[in-house]
Chain A
Amino acid sequence: MSDVVLETRDLVKHFPLTQGIVFKKQIGAVRAVDGVNLELRRGETLGIVGESGCGKSTLARMLVGLETPTSGDLFVQGKNMSKVGAEERRRGRRNIQLVMQDPYTSLNPRMTVGDIIGEPFEVHPDVVPKGSRRRKVQELLELVGLNPDHINRYPHQFSGGQRQRIGIARALALNPEIILCDEPVSALDVSIQAQVINLLEKLQNELGLSYVFIAHDLSVVRHIADRVAVMYLGKIVEIGTEDEIYESPTHPYTQALLSAVPVPDPKLRGQRDQIVLVGDVPSPANPPSGCRFRTRCWKAQDICAEQEPLLQIRDKSGHPSACHFAEVRDVVHATE
């Protein structure tokens, strides 16, 4: 069996922009994800970082089958999800589960924790026989560090960190091999965040899970990820090992992102080579020509407006970067 558990080829999601109410006319498209190639290997954690609006959640929703790609292919365990039959697709989907950011809104307030965690068994009744479901749910509660006796409580009776544990237990119900975490700790306080990160790492070791871990906190991603992909306006602009991305970033966007993270050490104040980017991310409905980062890039040349830089290895650092002028630059950053 191949070591790649999840792969995308030129994955695209365009949301149509329409005008008119009765006779909808398409006047354009939000190019949320615009040609993404990724591989997730067995047992690894792939981090995805980028500013909000870059398409991270849309990508995640396509990977778990909540969103249909406009074009491109998604392979789960080597099987092309758009080519296989319904039963095979269902099994593929079962293997990938999503953990979302907001433990406050992603849980139905009127369902007990037991029903929430056990709900996936209704859709996939073959996973656990009916008689032993309650036991299974209690095992899951225990696995994520919650009291199994609290199976009949409601979400509001739990704290934010505990609710995130409920979300994780639910994602684990169908014994998936791949978990997609979309900002799983962003809404949590730092001390609670550490508890949840520790739990995710423990589960990965014990169950051999593979993670796609999306977060805007770059130091959290560095802690948990083996490899990191940097997204900008629907495209991956740089990808490499955690060390390559954090120690020798070559794309100006990655460099700017890393340099913007405040370092939790006052001794380093003023010593950072901080790149303050001007302006915001442009609209994905109308991305700049050529290199999408050029409107904010301090290195932009004429060629950047004319020719789109491909994601490829182009300098000594040995990892792919989508910049015509990719080169290593030292940035002192958060986890130094």
Chain B
Amino acid sequence: MSTDVNVKLDALPGLDPKALPLQVKNLQVEFRTRNGIAHAVNGVSFDVRAGETRAILGESGCGKSVTAQAIMGILDSPPGFVTGGEILYRGVDLLKLPESERRKVRANRIAMIFQDALSALNPVFTVGFQLGELFRKHRGMSRQDAKARSVELLDLVKIPAAKQRVNDYPHQFSGGMRQRVMIAMALALDPEVLIADEPTTALDVTVQAQIMALLAELQRERNMALVLITHDMGVVADVADRISVMYAGRVIEEAGVHEIYASPAHPYTKGLLESIPRLDLKGQELSAIKGLPPALTNIPPGCAFNPRCRYAQDVCKQDPAPALFQVSPSRTAACHFWKEVKGDE
């Protein structure tokens, strides 16, 4: 869909249509709070190709949502500040663009959906009005055309009786249907990148299956890049191409989905996979990771995982934190002992 907005975006200085739709390099975010500085994101890098699904996997509080918020420019600031790194859309660093351009890229090219659709939608306007608003504002459509497009979109996300439902308010939809409405809003302006932050965490598995199937179908049709943020290792195994595992604000392992599940190279990834109940463990103790993740105001020196790690040695307690070692040409892990970890399966 070529529109005047896209034409304007094509003229962005440094835009390279052949560059990746999204590339994050060494992103740093901190929260300056009364209790000190919370180092929420400490040098996160990842990228995603058109048509590819990049999973960001990690437990709560490890900085997944903050990473997404920084990309979308919706960080709670203050107290949150991006203190370093680059966020590249087809080679253009969004952090260096003038505010108005940056907003245009974010509105048109990169979209996001959230766990809680109700708080992402405006309760006082009908779903049709909110969708239509996007087309009027960003595409200069007439009221009537915008309404027709809104119905098409609700149809696209498989909301039954879209023609009638377009006049309903968000609270009149069930949890699953509301998630569809949010997906419709995110896709309205044909983004190249969709960031989905725990999109099915609050839903029943049956509804989760519907939403994941819908996302996969839309992604395929549009060759969209999908960044899927989740803590669910089942969902990741089902849909991801590549995975970045996060711990205490860092990516600690990066690999293709098959490599990671077959032979994790970082003790944290390995621990996560071993905590899932499996049939052959019935009647046995689950292998839990001991302890808790660190407070981000007080990350231990050296490897942040060392107090919980069963492989830890003295070197792990000393700065600098282990770098991302190249495990194979296609994967990295931030562990001094990745060879041992990967070897003993």
Query: Could you tell me which A residues sit within 8 Å of B by CB distance?
Result: 51-52, 159, 161, 189-195, 197-198, 201, 216, 218-220, 222-223, 242, 256-257, 260-269, 274, 276-278, 280, 334-336
- Asked, given contacts A216-B205, A222-B282, whether A190 binds B234 with beta carbons under 8 Å apart, the answer is no
For residue B16, CB closer than 8 A to chain A, the reply is no
- Which among B210, B235, B236, B275 is the interface contact of A193 at CB below 8 angstroms? B275
Chain A residue with minimal CB distance to B281?
Answer: A223
* Residue contact A265 to B209, C-beta cutoff 8 Å: no
The 20 listed contacts between A and B (C-beta, < 8 Å) are: A52-B204, A161-B292, A189-B59, A194-B286, A194-B288, A194-B289, A195-B290, A219-B277, A223-B282, A257-B206, A260-B206, A261-B234, A262-B208, A264-B261, A264-B273, A266-B257, A266-B258, A267-B258, A276-B209, A280-B207
Taking the nearest CB of chain A, how far is it from the CB of B256, in angstroms?
Answer: 9
Chain B residue with minimal CB distance to A191?
Answer: B289
| Count, chain B residues at interface, CB 8 A | 44
CB neighbours of B233 from chain A (8 A): 190, 264
- Taking A218-B205, A222-B279, A265-B261 as known contacts, 12 extra A-B pairs with beta carbons closer than 8 A to each other, sorted by chain A number, are A190-B272, A191-B288, A192-B59, A194-B288, A256-B206, A263-B237, A264-B261, A266-B237, A266-B257, A266-B258, A276-B209, A335-B278
Chain A residue with minimal CB distance to B238?
Answer: A262
- Asked, given contacts A223-B282, A334-B234, whether A264 binds B204 with beta carbons under 8 Å apart, the answer is no
* Residue contact B205 to A260, C-beta cutoff 8 Å: yes
Within 8 A of A (CB), among B260-296: 261, 271-273, 275-279, 281-282, 285-290, 292
For residue B19, CB closer than 8 A to chain A, the reply is no
For residue B85, CB closer than 8 A to chain A, the reply is no
User: In the docked arrangement, what's the CA distance between A335 and B234, Å?
Assistant: 10
CB neighbours of B223 from chain A (8 A): none
A-B contact count (CB 8 A): 114
- Asked, given contacts A191-B275, A280-B174, whether A264 binds B282 with beta carbons under 8 Å apart, the answer is no
For residue B10, CB closer than 8 A to chain A, the reply is no
* Residue contact A190 to B275, C-beta cutoff 8 Å: yes
User: In the docked arrangement, what's the CA distance between A220 and B282, Å?
Assistant: 10
Taking the nearest CB of chain B, how far is it from the CB of A7, in angstroms?
Answer: 26
Q: Which of A219, A242, A264, A334 has the most CB of B within 10 A?
A: A264
Within 8 A of A (CB), among B205-242: 205-210, 212-213, 231-238, 240
Chain A residue with minimal CB distance to B292?
Answer: A159
For residue B176, CB closer than 8 A to chain A, the reply is yes
Which 4 pairs between the two chains have the least Cβ-Cβ distance?
Answer: A262-B234, A223-B277, A194-B288, A191-B289
CB neighbours of A278 from chain B (8 A): 210
For residue B318, CB closer than 8 A to chain A, the reply is no
Chain B residue with minimal CB distance to A224?
Answer: B277
- Which among A161, A195, A257, A263 is the interface contact of B234 at CB below 8 angstroms? A263
CB neighbours of A267 from chain B (8 A): 258, 261
* Residue contact A266 to B207, C-beta cutoff 8 Å: no
User: In the docked arrangement, what's the CA distance between A276 and B215, Å?
Assistant: 14
CB neighbours of A219 from chain B (8 A): 276-278
* Residue contact A190 to B276, C-beta cutoff 8 Å: yes
- Which among B261, B277, B292 is the interface contact of A222 at CB below 8 angstroms? B277
* Residue contact B238 to A263, C-beta cutoff 8 Å: yes
**What 1/0 mask marks residues of chain B from 161 to 193 whose CB sits below 8 Å from any chain A CB?**
000000000000011110000000000000000
- Asked, given contacts A190-B275, A264-B273, A265-B237, whether A277 binds B210 with beta carbons under 8 Å apart, the answer is yes
User: In the docked arrangement, what's the CA distance between A242 and B276, Å?
Assistant: 17
For residue B60, CB closer than 8 A to chain A, the reply is yes
Taking the nearest CB of chain A, how far is it from the CB of B36, in angstroms?
Answer: 17
User: In the docked arrangement, what's the CA distance between A161 and B281, Å?
Assistant: 22
* Residue contact A192 to B292, C-beta cutoff 8 Å: yes
* Residue contact B235 to A262, C-beta cutoff 8 Å: yes
User: In the docked arrangement, what's the CA distance between A223 and B277, Å?
Assistant: 6
CB neighbours of B209 from chain A (8 A): 260, 262, 274, 276-277
* Residue contact B59 to A194, C-beta cutoff 8 Å: no
CB neighbours of B240 from chain A (8 A): 266
* Residue contact A264 to B237, C-beta cutoff 8 Å: yes
Taking the nearest CB of chain B, how far is it from the CB of A256, in angstroms?
Answer: 6
Taking the nearest CB of chain A, how far is it from the CB of B229, in angstroms?
Answer: 14
User: In the docked arrangement, what's the CA distance between A268 and B279, Å?
Assistant: 15
User: In the docked arrangement, what's the CA distance between A96 and B46, Å?
Assistant: 50
- Which among A223, A242, A262 is the interface contact of B232 at CB below 8 angstroms? A262
Taking the nearest CB of chain A, how far is it from the CB of B61, in angstroms?
Answer: 9
Taking the nearest CB of chain A, how far is it from the CB of B284, in angstroms?
Answer: 9
CB neighbours of B238 from chain A (8 A): 262-263, 266, 269
